[in-house]
Structure formats: structure tokens, C-alpha cells
Amino acid sequence: MHKISALAQYVGFINRDDLQRLIFEESILEQSGVNYRRSSARHSKQSIAAGALCLGLCAIVPFNVLANEAVIDSENIERIQVTGTRIKQVDIETASPLTVIDAQQIALSGEANIADVLNNTSVNSFGSWRGVTGYASGDSASSSVNMRGLGDGATLILLDGRRMPGATSSSGGIADTSQIPLAIVERIEILRDGASAIYGSDAVAGVINIITKKQYDGVELNISSELPQINGGDTHQISVSGGYVGDNGNISVSYERYSSQAVYDRDVWRLDDPSYMDYDTYNGVPNGYYYDYNLEDYVAITNSELCQQQPQGIDASDGNNQGLCLYNYGEVSTLYGDFDRNSVLSHFDYELTEDVTLKGRLSFADLVTEGATAPTPIYPAYIYMPWDHTYNPVGEEVELQLRSTQLGNRDERVETQTIDGLLGLQGYADIASGLDWELNLQHSKSTTKMYGDNLINDAKLQQAILATDENGDALYDIFNVSGMSFDTWQAQMAQMYQQAEHTSVYDSELTSTQVDGLVSTLMFDEGDYTIAAVAGFEHEWIDFYQVNDAESSAGLISGGAGGDNADADRKRLAGFMEFKFGLPADLELSAALRYERYSQSGRVMNTGSDQITNESATFDDVVPKLGALWRATDSLLLRASFGESFRAPNMIEMFSSDSLSFDYAYDPVWCANNDDPYYCSYFAQHATWFGGNPDLQAEKGQTLTLGGVWNVTDDWSLELSYYAIEYDNKIEAIDINDILYFEQINGGSDSVHRDENGQISYVESTVRNIASIETSGFDIVSAYNMTTGVGDFNLTLDIAHVIDYKYRADEASQAVDYAGDTDYPQWRGNFSLAWQYDVFSAGWSTVFIGKQSGQAWRDAGFESIIDTPNYFKHNLQVGYMHPFNGSVTLGVNNVFNADAPNWYDFASYQDVNTDLYDVIGRSLYLKLNQSF
């Protein structure tokens, strides 16, 4: 059987006879998106390669091309570029496992954006970041990928085979997948193997290569809308793509507008459940503490009557929580903000000569996200009412707990713009066995501006509390000692907060310029022995800064993120070589070696002062990768690879000044001997200061992959792959819950600061090199095609199992295996069934996340953590291709409205892992496609 015929039958919906005719037609070539030379000597070779690439990569799983027999002489087959190697080759298999998701599979997923498609992949073991409201530095507007649970920075994102511009929120270290328009994606190639030697630093866990559509000869229009069952979350998308294909090249332009409506926490979480308990003592009705010298203890005071009239206020005067007024912050905040994106992408290829092609790409993305969090809690500043204040109800100094509800929510707006341009030359030189070469220049610029309204300047608020009129009487009756009506008191409080109102401004910019080139050739070709090689270089210059307004940087503002200012630059220089050896018995060996050097320096602006510290560091390493691929039989392929990786710290990790966050955490030390149902909530917020660390070291990793692909029949393919990864010196900020846990077991911690009552005042958490992560597991991938009298069926299944995931916080700690614990599912999988009959089609897809045990948390004292059950989300769609060159698709995402599992045995605020689970529920979508 012809190898391409077998491949197309695997893809489905094309019979052998039709394929034999299609292979040699220009239409296959043009649809493939591969530029080709029209030289008669090379035309047939390029056509065969392009046909193989187009058909072979249209499957959800990698496929081993069956036989070595071929109708065409192997010497006349052009080599193609495949993710996982820079050496062009005939088939799509390499020594590293590759998953390919084509446009059909993306559509079948029912997801509205690339970020959610990638989040559902089984290799995204423990979920990944999807921007939610309330995060600084623009993180609330970004999304990322976390392969194998090694962290967002350990997965390299490529766009058409090149590094995608990084987001400003990570100083370029992590790509924002939310910027990519879904309509222009032709396929996604996921390299499930470490590849630093091939693609450079950051490819520790693997590589995701997003391939865009490039060849249009006409105009294509796509319109889609998705309407969730809950309030909010409506998404709308419209894209227009067009292009022109001429004798010497092609050009294409795509535009997409995507918008998503905000989703409020109150519409997702169980806020009306009787067991709900996430309330805060920082309330619009002030609470306070004073020291009673007779009782020799602190006594709480509030105004119960005002509390009963305050929206979201909970009267606790029955004795719980010392009678303080409480606040339900989940009622007013957004989980996902309003999101709007306008993006443009253009490609062109132009044949300058028979052997030289000029290529280019220009992209622009404009994103705006608007969200809301609860009104500002005045924290951690010490705000007080003096003993002689006109309206002091007790005659002692009172420490105040305030929330500026009278000003309204904290509104945040994030504006991000990214422009990326590429200009390059590709050529062929008829020297020796022939040289393929390319030289590229790429420049990108990304800016982020973030505005936060209704924050509070602590010093100005204290001044307002102490302010007096001409008679010496205080202006503001905070506890309503004078007995004003609720509306009058509210107006007075609003006036007081207006004296201290602050709008925060965050501004960042990242610019990158890269020059790179490579040359490849077939060095030796004698019988069963071949040697192919590629060598190249990359040189990149990056400038980055992020700065907050002066008051926020000085730590004077409540409700914001504090400082995290940085001003830094980075230079990256890399040289690489890769060899591929063809040997008898269908054995192929590969070897790659890469040297990479990072030189970076930063001006650290320390929080609370004007002091600037100049810091610098250099990181370099040589990383190898070895691979073997053996076609044991016509239907069985075995492979193995081993590689080393390293990742240099990004500029924020090294050079950012301290920033303030309010993280959710349970305090096991204080709560072990005290009973306060609100402070001892798992979602009590504690001031946490984060900062950079100029003494960081580079992360290092090793990856071993073993496996094979078995074509059981012409229509059924099965793959099994095993991986084992060691990741040392991993850089991360220790989670506040881990800090508090280690404080408990170690009997203290320098990172935890407590007040005179023993409660947490604030926590310090800087990024650091933890000791290691060791993880292993296996992937099972299968696909089956079936042709019947009632249509063609295509079934795909991919399953990932994590055998172990061992985390060691420092060299002195014992490794803890988290695999199977809460938030660390051992099993993830996806199943899809596609059917097509004439102009009708239908599809069913299922996302599976395995159960998790909460026993480890319960053993550590968190008794309310419950076990997490298996989770299934099912999507259904039907389609019709009408006779006017278009199609209509109707679908339901999350057909059975599966609830995301909760962490606790009581209702709580955001008590679901939104990185893992869909919390929106059932939604209906409609997609229209029209070509002209």
C-alpha cells in the first residue's frame, strides 16, 4: 500500500481511489499551506511532501506511516518540517511523541478560544492558568499552559514554528494563549517531550506549536455565539479571512473580533447555601477592637443596627465572631471580567528567484478586560480612632476594620496591545547534496496598562478620621454614635472615603528583537546509510519595564497590589546543531546539542523608598538530546529519547520589587487553639508580600521518553508513551498555605509575622529555587476510522496517567508525592466521536478528569477537605454543509450541566479549581461559516 494512501485512510472520509488521484493535484498542495518552488525538477517532490503534510497532520494523534514501499522513488520525495526536529524529513514521526489537533477536532471540542482547548488536553495534567479577576500585572487578562504540572514557564509556545511573543505579566517568559484568534488556527501540534536542545530554554516539559492558516484564494467568513445557561458568560466571535494566490506567491489577511461577557461569582458559587461561611470582618459597617484594662483583653465593637441595613452585611451579634458585622464579598465580584479582543494576522510568501523566497508575517492583538472585585478592605494599615475622638463610643483607642463599600466595587481595566513582525528569506543552494537555508528578523512589542478604581490611600483615610471642624469636633461619626438615619450615615461615610480615594495605574512594556538563521543539508546518502544535519544561531535583545503609580509602589494603598516594579533587559545568544542518522534495519538515531546564554540586568526599585539597586546575572548551559526510532515492522514503530533542559529566571522573578496581595489561607497555628469561624475559614485573606530574588539559579531538567505506535489495522492506530522527568532548582513563590504549614511543623517561620493577638499580620513570600519535582506517567492515544453505509465514523481517545508527582520544598525536606491528591488528578482523558454522511455531520466529545483524595489535607488538619469525584464533561454538535459554499453548526457544551467538584464539605467562595474545571456549566452555541 502507498504510505500516503494509508495515512489518508487513517484521517478518514477519503477513499483510496480518490486519494490516488488527489495526491498529484495542485489543490492538495495549495491547501497544505506549504510554499513550493515551481521548478520542474522539484515540483513533483514538493507536491508529494505537501500532500503528506496536509493529510498526515489532520489527525488528533501521531501516526506512523505504514510501509517503506512507495509508488514514487524515495529519492524524489521532498522532505518536510515536523515539530520536534529542525531537520526536514519524509514522514511525520520523530523520536519524540507528537499529538496533532486539527481544526475539525478544535471545533468538535465546543470551546470558544485556544486557551480552553489547550487546557482540556490530557497532557495539561493539573490544569493551567485562565485569567480571573483580581490579579495584578495584567494576569487577570492572560492565559497559559502547564504541561505535566511543571509550571507555565516550562512549556514553550510556538506560533508557526517560532517563539510566540511573551506576555508582559511574565516579562516575556510565558506566552499568553488568549491572544491567538481561534478562527485562524489550522492545527495545534503538541510535542510531549522536553526539547530545550531543539528549540531552546523553556521547553522543559514540551512544546506547543500553533499552526495558522496561510493560503486563502477568496474570502471566508466565520460567525459564532455561545450562550451559557447561567447569567453572563455570553461570547461572540466574528472573523473575516481572505487572500490571493499568484504564480510567484501568496498573501493572506485575517481579522477577528472576540468578546465575552463577565461572569459574577454570585452566579457560580453556592452563596445561598446554608453552610456558606465565607464572610469578612472588614465591612462597610465598621468593626473595631479596643483593649479593656479591667478585663485585660481585647473587646470587639460594632453597630448591629447599621449591620442589619447594610447590603451584603451579616449581623453576628448573636455572639459568633465576637459580635462583629460581617461582609459577603462574593456577592459583588466577577470571576471572569468582560473580555474584548481585536486581532489581525497577515502572511505572505513571494518567490524572488527559483530558489529564494521572501516571507513575512505581521500580527496585531488588542485586548481589553474589565472586572470587579469587592470594595476595598483597609488592610494591612493600622487605622485607628483616638480615645478623645468626638464619636468614640468607648473612650479608648479603637483599631478599626473598614471596607469602603460606600465607594462601590474596585473596578479594574486591563488594556494589552501586542504587535509582532517577521521578515525572512528562505532558499536552496545547489551545493554538494544541496543546502536549505533561512535568515530571519523578528521584532515584537507588547504593552499593558491596568487601572484600578476606588482604592484607598491609607494615610489620607487616617487624616480624614482625625479631621475636625472649626469647633474641634470630628467630621465623621464612624460608629453612628449620634444616631443618624442609615442613608445619612452612608452619605457621610461616602464623603469620608472620597477624601482618600485612589486610582492605581500599572504600566508595562516589553520589546524584543531577534535575528536567527540556519542551514541544513543531507550530508551523506549511500544505500541504507544517511546523515542529515542542521546548524543555526539565534540572537535576541529584550527590554522590559513595569511600574506602578508612586503611592502604590510605596505601599500606601489598600486594595491594590503594591509595588512589583522592574526595569530590566536581557540578551539571549544560542547556537545549535542537530544530526539524524539513517541506519540499516529501518533504524534512525538523532542527536542535538544547543548552547544558550542569557545575560540580564535589572534596576530594582525597592518598595517604600527611592533606593535603586543594580543587579545582573548570566546563565548559560549546553544541553543535549538523543533519540532513537526503529520501524520494527511495517506496522510497529518503537522510539526513545533522552534530553536535558534548562530555564533561566525571567526578569520579574529576579528584579521585581515587593508587591502586596491578599491570599486565601487557613491559619493552622492560631486556629489550633482558638475558635473563630471567620478568621479560621479556608478562604480568610491575609496580606502577602511577593518580591523578586536576584540570587536565583537556573532551573534544570532531564526527560526520558519511551514508547511506540502500532497500526493495528489500516483503520486503527494505537500509541503508548512513557515519560519520566526530573526538574531541579524549580523557581516559584511558595504558596501561603505551604508557608503556614511549614511554620506549624517547624514551630515557627521567619516569613510569617503576627500581631499581639497571635493572628497573621502579613506573610513574606519571595520566589526561590525549590529542590525538585520528579514526575512520571504514560500516555495512551488511539484512533479508529470506520466506513459504513450510513456514514463515516472517526473515534479518537487520548488518556494521560500520572504515576507519581514528587515535590520537595527544599533540600532538607522529604519528597511528597502529590499524585492523586486534591488538585493533582492521576487520570485525564479526552474522547471524541465524529460522523459524516454527505453534507451532514455530528460529533460527541468528552473531557474526563479523574478523582482525587483529600486525605493528605485531612491528615494535616484540614478536616473539611473532601474527596473529589470523577468529572465528565460532554459536548455535542451537529452540522450541515449547505449548497451555497458554507456550513451551519449547532452545539451544546457541557450537555448534562456537570458541576465542577468542590473542595469542602461546606459551601465556600470560589471553592473550585478553575484551572482544572469548567464552572460555567451548560451552554448553547451556533457557528456559521461562509466562503466566497
pLDDT score for 621: 94
Whether residues 151 and 41 fall in one domain: yes
Q: Does residue 72 carry a pLDDT above 50?
A: no
Average pLDDT over residues 75-90: 62
> Residue 802: what are its φ and ψ, rounded to 5°?
-95, 115
What's the whole-model pTM score? 0.84
Q: Model confidence over 739-762: pLDDT tens digits?
A: 887 788 788 888 899 988 899 988
Whether residues 159 and 293 fall in one domain: no
Average pLDDT over residues 637-649: 93
Average pLDDT over residues 149-166: 86
Q: Does residue 32 carry a pLDDT above 80?
A: no
pLDDT score for 566: 86
C-alpha cell at position 791? 456514514
Q: Does residue 551 carry a pLDDT above 70?
A: yes
| pLDDT confidence band for 81 (50 / 70 / 90) | low
Average pLDDT along the chain = 84
Whether residues 221 and 301 fall in one domain: no
Q: Does residue 504 carry a pLDDT above 70?
A: yes
Provide DSSP, 88-121.
Answer: -BSSS--SS-EEEEEHHHHHHHT-SSHHHHHHTS
Whether residues 207 and 129 fall in one domain: yes
Give the residue from 343, 365, 370 showing the smallest Cα distance to 447: 365
Q: Write 462-470 long-range contacts (CB < 8 A, 24+).
A: 462/381, 462/383, 462/384, 463/499, 463/500, 464/496, 464/497, 464/499, 464/500, 465/383, 465/384, 465/385, 465/389, 465/400, 465/496, 466/386, 466/389, 467/499, 468/390
Q: Does residue 207 carry a pLDDT above 60?
A: yes
* Residue 419 domain-assigned (yes or no): yes
Provide DSSP, 578-621.
Answer: EEEEEETTTEEEEEEEEEEEEEEEEEEE-TTS--EEEEEEEEEE
Q: Of 551, 580, 595, which marks where a domain is finished?
A: 551
| Burial (CB count within 10 angstroms: exposed 0-12, middle 13-18, buried 19+), residue 648 | buried
Dihedral of CA atoms 390, 392, 397, 399 in degrees, nearest 10, equals -120
Residue with more model confidence, 851 or 70 = 851
Q: Model confidence over 649-684: pLDDT tens digits?
A: 988 888 888 777 777 788 989 998 887 766 887 767
C-alpha cell at position 638? 518503537
pLDDT score for 4: 33
How big is the chain by its Cα radius of gyration, in Å? Answer: 30
Amino acid identity, residue 508?
S
Whether residues 880 and 814 fall in one domain: yes
Across 103-112, 680-689, 899-908, least confident range: 680-689
Across 114-128, 157-171, 282-296, 589-603, least confident range: 157-171
Cα(553)–Cα(660) distance, integer angstroms: 10
Q: Which 8-state DSSP code applies to residue 197?
A: H
Whether residues 816 and 803 fall in one domain: yes
Q: Of 489, 519, 551, which marks where a domain is finished?
A: 551
Whether residues 310 and 361 fall in one domain: no
Q: Model confidence over 446-481: pLDDT tens digits?
A: 999 999 999 999 999 999 999 999 999 999 999 999
Q: Does residue 24 carry a pLDDT above 70?
A: no
Whether residues 612 and 537 fall in one domain: no
Cα(813)–Cα(807) distance, integer angstroms: 9
pLDDT score for 801: 97
Q: Model confidence over 337-387: pLDDT tens digits?
A: 999 999 999 999 999 999 999 999 999 999 999 999 999 999 777 899 999
By the 8 A CB rule, do 429 and 355 touch? Answer: yes
The residue range of the domain holding 28 is: 3-267+336-374+411-429+565-657+692-734+770-931
Average pLDDT over residues 893-900: 94
By the 8 A CB rule, do 222 and 929 touch? Answer: yes
Whether residues 570 and 518 fall in one domain: no
Give the residue from 185, 160, 123, 154 showing the smallest Cα distance to 719: 123
Residue with more model confidence, 734 or 840 = 840
By the 8 A CB rule, do 810 and 774 touch? Answer: no
* Residue 116 domain-assigned (yes or no): yes
Cα(657)–Cα(306) distance, integer angstroms: 41
Q: Does residue 153 carry a pLDDT above 90?
A: no
Residue with more model confidence, 535 or 560 = 535
Dihedral sign from CA coordinates of 155, 160, 162, 164: negative
* Residue 237 domain-assigned (yes or no): yes
Query: How many domains would you assign to the chain?
Result: 2
pLDDT score for 817: 93
* Residue 364 domain-assigned (yes or no): yes
Q: Does residue 17 carry a pLDDT above 50?
A: no
Whether residues 501 and 579 fall in one domain: no
pLDDT score for 465: 96
pLDDT score for 804: 96
Whether residues 599 and 616 fall in one domain: yes
* Residue 756 domain-assigned (yes or no): no
Average pLDDT over residues 889-908: 92
pLDDT score for 384: 93
* Residue 739 domain-assigned (yes or no): no
| pLDDT confidence band for 774 (50 / 70 / 90) | very high
By the 8 A CB rule, do 128 and 122 touch? Answer: no
Q: Model confidence over 911-924: pLDDT tens digits?
A: 889 889 999 999 99
Q: Which 8-state DSSP code applies to residue 169?
A: G
Give the domain CATH number at 167.
2.40.170.20
By the 8 A CB rule, do 573 and 611 touch? Answer: no
Give the residue from 704, 620, 699 showing the smallest Cα distance to 155: 699
Whether residues 807 and 854 fall in one domain: yes
* Residue 559 domain-assigned (yes or no): no
Q: Of 507, 528, 551, which marks where a domain is finished?
A: 551
Q: Model confidence over 625-641: pLDDT tens digits?
A: 999 999 999 999 999 99
Residue with more model confidence, 502 or 93 = 502
pLDDT score for 341: 92
* Residue 684 domain-assigned (yes or no): no
